[in-house]
Structure 1
Amino acid sequence: MSELPADVALMWRLRDPGRRGPKPSLTVEDITRAAIEIADAEDLAAVSMARVAERLGNSTMALYRHVKSKDELLVLMSDAALERPSPLPDDVDWRTGLTLWAEGVLVAIRKHRWYSKLPISGPPAGPNNLAWFDSALGALEDTGLPEEAKVGVVMGLMTYVHGEIRLSLDLAAGFADNPNAFSRYGAVLSRVVDPRQLPALARVLDAGVFESVGNFEAESGEDFDFGLQLYLDGVAGFIDRVCQAG
């Protein structure tokens, strides 16, 4: 059997510490928790091995005995910050289950707004991320879809949810810095959009779609729900086709 990848072994606490003697006072959990606290207070850019060591009252070398690099630390943070999902109700249909799941991911990530800045280097592999993966797959249990199709549906949903969260958090930060850029968006576009060159966009402007942004946080939530239901409409059609073909 091949060895587990180093980051997977670390997230599942299966890495051999390679030393004997008294149990060390510093743990991977301590290091991860301190890093998350720094990111929550100051954003992800403030996290470093040195800052975490300082917060814990240890030397940086003491951290390296448990976590070998900042990249490993970010992997630990990406799993630990996404708290385990609540069980889906037993009596809900697949669509309600996936809606609750997506809303749960949104709530979990918005507790740590830096989460959207974490690099994504591979599929979910940590215990918390896999618990979310399992929960979404479980919502599709009674659909009649083959297992491979269930994975495809969930991976597509993950792509939508994480993409929308990253976009909405970035736009929310931009709105906080410069709300006028949003409130004047329609007026600015109306001065540069030529209907002969951009006819579809010109019709949107004529309809007044961009006249007012209003509460960006509220509108981003409405946009998230709108896009989510569009995606699930597509899943519903896919399930019908698969079931009819079967």
Structure 2
Amino acid sequence: MAVEPNRDVNAHVRRLWRHRGTTVPTPRRGPRQQLDLDEILQTGIAIADAEGLAAVSTRAIAARFDKSSMVIYPYVGTKENLLALMQDHASAMPSWDDPGASLADALHAWAEALFDVYLAHPWLTDRPWSQASQGPNEQDWLERLLRILDAWAVPPSARPSTVTMLYATVRATAGTAAAYQRMNQQGMAEWRERAEATMKLIPDLCQRYPMSTRLEPVTPRWQDAPRAGLAGAVELLAAALGSAGAAAGPRLG
């Protein structure tokens, strides 16, 4: 017996790939094309950027258009589908040229570009990998990274781990950088107060933890530490990948 296709899934995939060859399903009820899907998603992204992912709802988005939440549903489907559409829409990859000087430079350009996207939309790092959108914009990032690894002859067996390490590092450092940006004067004062109290109440802290307490900061300005840490991590990873093929330069053609 043939299994009927899931129309909700099909509709969602058509929305995800609407600019790459599919057509957006039109609402079945009410006047057609009252709203534009891109505008709906941009509105949801603006809400998430300003107030966090928890503030996003069809009701909140609809209010921006002076509509009811029921008007939004036919355009996006379920709440999870809405978030996935927003995620892919916000992940659009900017254009840049891959540096040809070294594998480290090419990886750093990729990582910096993704870091900036995550920093512009911090809620993207709140979305777990299990909720990847499977949309074209997110796919672009992976394809671009794999093309870099292929161009520099990184062994295929090393590519999955490299992808995992890079994505994890970019997400973690961008999330920290975003948290630093949100930290106000009170938050910084509380952090210093805790640090001073720890040194006072645990006077032998440096003796207990000699390695960690003597660790040199990655950069003098603590707010810049996440980005600087990302750059250092990419350098270490590129060095570890420094096989004969990668060290010989990019593969041409």
Q: The TM-score by the shorter chain falls in which range?
A: 0.7 to 0.9
Contact persistence 1:35–1:52 (CA under 8 A): yes
> Among 91, 95, 113, which residue is 1:104 paired with?
113
- Segments of 5+ residues of structure 2 without an aligned counterpart are 248-253
* 1:45 corresponding residue in structure 2: 54
- Per-residue deviation, 1:195: 6.1
> Among 7, 13, 17, which residue is 1:12 paired with?
17
Check 1:193–1:120 CA distance in 2 against 1; reply closer, same or farther (3 A cut): farther
CA distance in 1, matches of 2:205, 2:135: 50
Contact persistence 1:88–1:135 (CA under 8 A): no
Check 1:223–1:181 CA distance in 2 against 1; reply closer, same or farther (3 A cut): farther
- Per-residue deviation, 1:79: 1.1
CA distance in 1, matches of 2:131, 2:180: 25
* 1:220 corresponding residue in structure 2: 226
- Aligned CA RMSD, in angstroms, stands at 3.5
SS in 1 for 2:95: coil
Spell out the pairing of 1:115-134 with structure 2 (5 A cutoff).
Answer: 115-123=124-132, 125-134=134-143
Check 1:66–1:242 CA distance in 2 against 1; reply closer, same or farther (3 A cut): same
CA distance in 1, matches of 2:27, 2:16: 17
SS in 1 for 2:177: helix
TM-score computed with the length of structure 1 as normaliser: 0.77
- Segments of 5+ residues of structure 1 without an aligned counterpart are none
Whether 1:26 and 2:31 are equivalent positions in the alignment is no
Check 1:81–1:153 CA distance in 2 against 1; reply closer, same or farther (3 A cut): same
Contact persistence 1:87–1:135 (CA under 8 A): no
Contact persistence 1:38–1:46 (CA under 8 A): yes
* 1:183 corresponding residue in structure 2: 192
Contact persistence 2:44–2:61 (CA under 8 A): yes
Contact persistence 2:176–2:226 (CA under 8 A): no
More deviation, 71-80/185-194: 185-194
Check 1:10–1:187 CA distance in 2 against 1; reply closer, same or farther (3 A cut): same
Output the amino acid matched with 1:217: Q
More deviation, 149-158/130-139: 149-158
Q: How many residues align?
A: 236
CA distance in 2, matches of 1:145, 1:155: 15
- Per-residue deviation, 1:194: 5.0
Contact persistence 2:104–2:234 (CA under 8 A): no
Fraction of identical pairs, as percent? 24
User: Whose RCO is larger (CA < 8 A, sep 6+)?
Assistant: 2
More deviation, 9-18/38-47: 9-18
Check 1:124–1:233 CA distance in 2 against 1; reply closer, same or farther (3 A cut): farther
Contact persistence 2:122–2:174 (CA under 8 A): no
Contact persistence 2:104–2:235 (CA under 8 A): no
Check 1:85–1:141 CA distance in 2 against 1; reply closer, same or farther (3 A cut): farther
Check 1:203–1:217 CA distance in 2 against 1; reply closer, same or farther (3 A cut): closer
